[in-house]
Structure 1
């Protein structure tokens, strides 16, 4: 019985080593800091993006989604928090980011800072975009 347990442990260790060796490793290639565009608009479902921004904090992970059917910009890239859509990648940066996403490049985005807020001030959102390369 003890020999079988040792064999199982050895097999599990070998599987773990194999999985680690086969997992792609990513190397940070570039970091871009930008502002989220369109933060003063309401979403299609009526949710106010300003309310969503008021709930966010630095370090929160965000998700990028392509919006090729956007009538204003075929390269539009939406930005979502766990609460909903907070805006877009700006128009100048969108073609680059959409190309990366289409090429399955790993692109991570986090909130770097929430700005503004308070009486008669709009919230803004600064983001950090990290672009990785497989090694």
Structure 2
């Protein structure tokens, strides 16, 4: 049985407006990232920030954050997020693409069977 399942992939929105450019040279394909909800975000109550360690890289795009935000707010620790592609030659908003997996384990087995 798979230990994880592909959930989605996207670019990091707002990459050039946060600390991403400061750590760009440290980022590599496969680097693990962390997703953190920002329910008090004045622009988007469903905002999900993307972190590399303590460095905020940006956000999940608003059109892709609803389900991730909901599950994180409900306390599910089910996401594994990694850098999928780095393209330094393109516009900063498209330089970093990430992939989000759902981790398969006993704690979320029932939820996964229901959703997938």
* TM-score class, shorter: 0.7 to 0.9
Alpha-carbon deviations, 1:65-89, whole Å to 9, x = none? 0101100000000010025110101
Alpha-carbon deviations, 1:9-51, whole Å to 9, x = none? xxxxxxxxxxxxxxxx985343311111001103xxxxx4212
Distance in 2 (alpha carbons) for counterparts of 1:73 and 1:109: 21
Paired residue total: 104
Correspondence 1:97 to 2:68: yes
Q: Counterparts in 2 of 1:1-135, with a 5 A limit? A: 27-42=3-18, 48-82=19-53, 84-103=55-74, 104-117=76-89, 122=92, 124-133=95-104, 134-135=108-109
SS in 2 for 1:40: helix
Question: In 2 relative to 1, CA 26–107 (structure 1 residues): closer, same or farther, beyond 3 Å?
Answer: farther
Computed over aligned residues only, the root mean square deviation of the Cα atoms, in angstroms, reads 2.4
* TM-score, with length taken from structure 1: 0.67
Point out the more displaced range, 93-102 or 69-78.
93-102
Q: Which of the two has higher C-alpha Rg? A: 1
